């Protein structure tokens, strides 16, 4: 079977020696020397790659195990995608407790990366809603791990980048829903101060907040953006997982000039100019998953792929650090296509290697243009480290060992939980 | 009949059968699941119940025991209070080389893929004929459309099955009983895990959508899923024998 499976960023282009599919929850793991669970491959960098090793495809572990429609608790195999789960739970009046910006991830992947969403300031991370999970280790053992029964292994596995064994199933507490609509408000802001003021003013009143920021504008437009805040509609309405919508797909790699700095600047200016401030309602599908409507949007970045950079800095130095990050980008001549700012809340993340922590997070994506792109990302890392922050492994393809170590102070506690047969390109790069 | 159907799924742990059963579960159907492996059947049963099946019963059976088929079909009909749709989806994909080395091996393939499937279709047909109601949907294969050196034992079983079902359809014409022969092409399932995949391969979900659509429409006939296989197989069947024998197909 083809081992040509890339990550979402399509950089680096590393190949596994083989791909082994699991079809049944009780099936044994392959006895290869180096294995890594692989779901949808939606991590951006190399945390879902295992160059020269084996990828264990979990996407056929796609069965539900139990769904308590009264209590809103679902247990499912690890390869169930959020997309498939939503098709079942939304019509029954439930929603994911936390959702990332795409449905094309598996539940196992969501746990292994302890993903977050627009409601982090209220709900914390995905892992905070996991009540139990199944773990298969290379020694043949199978265990049920719950935060109460095995706190250390649970904390190692949630956010553990798939390194503590293979997650076979997950039990998740859902959030009730009376309608698939959200009441959404969009507010324009100019500058980091205004963003921070909007965030603190909105945190109490809105379940979901996120901001898009223009990283290409200089001068008076510096750090301008659109702040979106929303609540699930309290009025009973239709419960559908999908809006009636058309789907686009990018069928081929765009040429390199498609996302050059001038086109990205133009796009960002247009996005800001056309972004209407005001109130409205939106279906949950376009609200939470706008990019899912464009299949393979990663191919816009051409064959060389793209790199993401997501950082978090603590609240105290956030104003200066975020300003410094944005200044470094505008000064570099590189252009981030979609840049997202969000204030994380105080709810503790359950994993030893969980990325979210109180502070401000900035997510960026750059077309991969070799050394100059990497040099900028190193400068951004330096600013983040200086502020006592962290870089997100799920989006990383290039951070240094030192940056990784400083991002995750509980690394020493995590390492003994790593299964000796499990590894990834990412893990060998930052630790192995 | 699209709502809350009573569905018998034979070979319920196969990837295509699971995908079909999920569609019925979502509609609140009542199902009886037949297969060989109790633990796999339990995983499938739990999935279907979680997805909304009003009922999902499991029957563990060795389907090569043809003499047990009448009781099996009766038990399923009793559990459901009648059957609207029966999907016969069990089968094996043999290693052609082994079948060439030993006819015993080839015979096992014929027993499971032809005799056992035909026996179940027979038991279902006689009961459905009396009830003047029901759809018998059977998974055949494009491999049954022409004998080829690469898998003629499997092809012979599926080809014989297609002819058996064709006759059954003819016999039952006008009774209200539908007989649907499903001919999937390459499907990415555990049965085909060892094969390199290309653009002709379809997911079990895509094949299942084609099957359920045909059942919902009340099709009594042969369908190719995905549909482009009808064209491919028409071409393959049309190649004259003296040319065909020189190919490696």
- What is the model's pLDDT at position A4? 67
How does DSSP classify residue A126?
G
- What is the model's pLDDT at position B1? 43
- Which chain B residues are within 8 Å of A2, Cβ to Cβ? 196-197
8 Å CB contact of A64 and B47: yes
> Coil, strand, or helix at residue A330?
helix
Its ipTM equals: 0.90
- Where are the domains positioned within chain B? 6-244
Cβ neighbourhood burial of A356 (10 Å; 0-12, 13-18, 19+)? buried
Q: Using CB atoms, pick whichever of B26, B50, B197 lies closest to residue A65.
A: B50
Work out the percent of chain A whose per-residue pLDDT is above 90: 78
- What is the model's pLDDT at position B228? 94
pLDDT at B2 over 70: no
Cβ under 8 Å to A: B residues 133-192: 190
Which residues of B are the active-site residues? 154
Measured between CA atoms, how close is B51 to chain A, in angstroms?
Answer: 6
- Spatial CB neighbours of B203, under 8 Å, sequence gap ≥ 6: B187, B188
> Coil, strand, or helix at residue B153?
helix
- Which chain B residues are within 8 Å of A71, Cβ to Cβ? none
- What is the model's pLDDT at position B185? 93
Task: Indicate the pairing of strand B178-184 with strand B221-225.
Answer: parallel
Q: Using CB atoms, pick whichever of A23, A26, A67 lies closest to residue B39.
A: A26
Q: Which DSSP string do the residues of A210-243 spell out, in sequence order?
A: EEEE-SS--GGGTTEEEEEEEEE-SS-----SS-
Task: Indicate the pairing of strand B178-184 with strand B135-139.
Answer: parallel
8 Å CB contact of B193 and A21: yes
Q: How far apart are CA B45 and CA B26, in angstroms?
A: 13
Q: Which CATH number is B6-244 given?
A: 3.40.50.720
Measured between CA atoms, how close is A370 to chain B, in angstroms?
Answer: 32
pLDDT at A64 over 80: yes
Q: How far apart are CA B228 and CA B213, in angstroms?
A: 16
Question: For A229-251, what is the mean pLDDT?
Answer: 83
Most confident listed range (A10-14, A245-249, A288-292, B165-169):
B165-169
8 Å CB contact of B50 and A66: yes
pLDDT at A269 over 80: no
pLDDT at A253 over 90: no
Q: How confident is the model at residue B14 (pLDDT cuts 50, 70, 90)?
A: very high
pLDDT at B158 over 70: yes
Decide if A256 touches B, using CB distance below 8 A. no
A contact test, residue of B46, B52, B54, B188 with most A CBs within 10 A: B46
pLDDT at A6 over 90: no
Decide if B196 touches A, using CB distance below 8 A. yes
3-state SS of B180-197 is EEEEECCECCHHHCCCCC
**Whole-prediction pTM:** 0.92
Q: How confident is the model at residue A248 (pLDDT cuts 50, 70, 90)?
A: low
**Candidates 3.90.550.10, 3.40.50.10860, 3.40.50.200, 3.30.70.2520; correct CATH number of A181-407?**
3.30.70.2520
Alpha-helical regions (H) of A158-203: 192-203
**Least confident piece of the model among A148-157, B12-21, B191-200:** B191-200
Measured between CA atoms, how close is A353 to chain B, in angstroms?
Answer: 32
Decide if A1 touches B, using CB distance below 8 A. yes
pLDDT at A252 over 80: no
- Taking each helix axis from N to C terminus, what angle separates B38-50 and B15-26, rounded to the nearest 10 degrees? 30
Residue with tokens 């892992």: A127
- Spatial CB neighbours of A382, under 8 Å, sequence gap ≥ 6: none
Question: For A217-232, what is the mean pLDDT?
Answer: 92
Decide if B51 touches A, using CB distance below 8 A. yes
- Where are the domains positioned within chain A? 181-407
pLDDT tens, residue by residue, A383-397: 999 999 999 999 999
């Amino acid at each position: 079977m083809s081992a040509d499976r890339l990550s979402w960023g399509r950089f680096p282009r590393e190949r596994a020696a083989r791909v082994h599919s699991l079809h049944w929850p009780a099936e044994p793991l392959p006895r290869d020397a180096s294995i890594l669970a692989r779901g949808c491959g939606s991590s951006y960098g190399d945390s879902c790659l295992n160059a020269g090793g084996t990828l264990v495809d979990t996407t056929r572990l796609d069965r539900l195990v139990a769904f308590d429609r009264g209590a809103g608790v679902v247990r499912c195999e690890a390869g169930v995608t959020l997309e498939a789960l939503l098709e079942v739970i939304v019509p029954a009046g439930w929603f994911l407790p936390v959702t990332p910006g795409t449905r094309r991830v598996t539940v196992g992947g969501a746990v292994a990366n302890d993903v977050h969403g627009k409601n982090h300031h209220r709900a914390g991370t995905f892992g905070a809603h996991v009540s139990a999970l199944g773990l298969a280790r290379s020694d043949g053992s199978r265990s049920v791990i719950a935060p109460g029964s095995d706190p250390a292994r649970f904390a190692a596995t949630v956010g553990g980048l798939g390194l503590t064994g293979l997650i076979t199933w997950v039990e998740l507490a859902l959030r009730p829903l009376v309608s698939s609509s959200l009441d959404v408000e969009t507010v324009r802001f100019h500058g980091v101060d205004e963003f921070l003021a909007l965030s603190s003013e909105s945190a109490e009143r809105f379940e979901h907040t996120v901001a898009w920021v223009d990283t290409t504008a200089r001068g008076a437009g510096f750090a301008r953006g659109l702040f979106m805040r929303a609540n699930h509609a309290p009025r009973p309405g239709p419960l559908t997982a999908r809006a009636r919508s058309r789907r686009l797909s990018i069928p081929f790699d765009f040429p390199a000039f498609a996302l050059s700095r001038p086109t990205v600047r133009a796009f960002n200016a247009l996005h800001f100019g056309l972004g209407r401030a005001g109130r409205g309602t939106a279906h949950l599908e376009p609200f939470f998953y706008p990019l899912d409507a464009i299949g393979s949007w990663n191919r816009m970045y051409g064959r060389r792929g793209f790199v993401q950079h997501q950082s978090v800095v603590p609240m105290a130095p956030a104003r200066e650090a975020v300003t410094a990050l944005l200044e470094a980008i505008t000064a570099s001549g590189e252009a981030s296509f979609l840049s997202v700012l969000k204030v994380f809340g105080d709810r503790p993340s359950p994993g030893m290697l969980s990325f979210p922590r109180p502070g401000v997070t900035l997510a960026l994506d750059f077309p991969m243009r070799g050394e100059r792109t990497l040099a900028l990302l190193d400068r951004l890392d330096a600013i983040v480290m200086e502020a006592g922050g962290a870089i997100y492994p799920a989006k990383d393809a290039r951070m240094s060992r030192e940056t990784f170590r400083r991002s995750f102070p509980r690394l020493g506690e995590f390492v003994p939980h790593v299964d000796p047969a499990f590894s990834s390109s990412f893990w060998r790069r930052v630790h192995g | 009949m699209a709502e809350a159907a009573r569905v018998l799924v034979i070979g319920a742990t196969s990837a295509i059968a699971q995908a079909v059963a999920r569609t019925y579960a979502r509609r609140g159907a009542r199902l009886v699941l037949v297969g060989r492996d109790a633990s796999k059947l339990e995983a499938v049963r739990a999935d279907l119940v979680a997805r909304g099946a009003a009922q999902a019963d499991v029957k563990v059976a060795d389907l090569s025991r043809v003499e047990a088929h009448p009781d099996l079909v009766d038990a399923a009909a009793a559990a459901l209070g009648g059957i609207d749709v029966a999907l016969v989806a069990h089968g094996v994909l043999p290693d052609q080389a082994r079948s060439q080395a030993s006819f015993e091996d080839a015979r096992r393939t014929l027993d499971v893929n032809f005799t056992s499937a035909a026996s179940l279709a027979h038991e279902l047909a006689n009961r459905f004929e009396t009830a003047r109601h029901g759809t018998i949907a059977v998974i055949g294969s494009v491999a049954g459309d022409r004998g080829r050196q690469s898998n003629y034992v499997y092809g012979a079983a599926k080809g014989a099955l297609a002819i058996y079902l064709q006759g059954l359809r003819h016999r039952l014409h006008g009774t209200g009983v539908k007989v649907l022969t499903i001919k999937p092409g390459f499907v990415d399932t555990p049965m085909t895990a060892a094969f390199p995949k290309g653009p002709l391969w379809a997911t079990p979900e895509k094949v299942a959508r084609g099957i359920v659509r045909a059942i919902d429409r009340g099709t009594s006939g042969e369908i190719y899923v995905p549909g482009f296989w009808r064209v491919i197989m028409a071409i393959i069947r049309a190649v004259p024998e003296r040319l065909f024998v020189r190919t490696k197909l």
